[in-house]
Amino acid sequence: MAEKLLTVRDVSLILGISEKEVMDLVENKQLAAYKVGGVYLRFKEEQIAQFRKSFKPASNKNRTILSHKYTLKDKISDFFYFNDFYILSVLIILLILVIIFQEY
């Protein structure tokens, strides 16, 4: 029977860190990883369990980020940042419609 290998997401959940931090550990050669198909990183469950015993997260920065409360200003800023193309498109279409129907 084939051994079940863990994904980056699985390892991040087990260690309680972000996927980017898992990738950083692999790049710094602190965590052993295997490429499947030359592309996808996989990890052995036993190695992760052993690494977890000695691993201490660097800081509480994840908790700080997650505990940040979004203000109304942040929400509005994000809305315009992620939807600027659609807002601009609607404005251009409305402008074209006003120009077209002004002549009638």
Render pLDDT for 11-36 as a digit per residue (tens, 0 to 9): 989 998 988 899 999 999 899 898 88
CA distance linking residue 55 with residue 48, whole number of Å: 10
Average pLDDT for the chain: 84
**How do residues 53-73 score in pLDDT, each as one tens digit?**
888 766 555 444 545 677 898
Instruction: Give the percent of the chain with pLDDT over 90.
Output: 36
CA distance from start to end of the chain: 76
Same domain, 63 and 81: no
The owner of tokens 């940040």 is: 68
Same domain, 55 and 98: no
Same domain, 6 and 32: yes
**What pLDDT sits at residue 74?**
86
Same domain, 8 and 29: yes
Same domain, 33 and 60: yes
Give the three-class secondary structure for 102: helix
Domain that holds residue 54: 1-68
Same domain, 48 and 83: no
pTM metric for this prediction: 0.52
**What pLDDT sits at residue 70?**
78
| Residue 25 burial (CB count, 10 A) | 18
Same domain, 12 and 53: yes
Q: How many domains does the chain divide into?
A: 2
Same domain, 45 and 56: yes
CA distance linking residue 73 with residue 21, whole number of Å: 29
Distances (CA, A) of 82 to 71, 87, 89, 93: 17, 10, 13, 19
Same domain, 101 and 84: yes
Domain containing 30 — which CATH number? 1.10.1660.10
CA distance linking residue 49 with residue 60, whole number of Å: 21
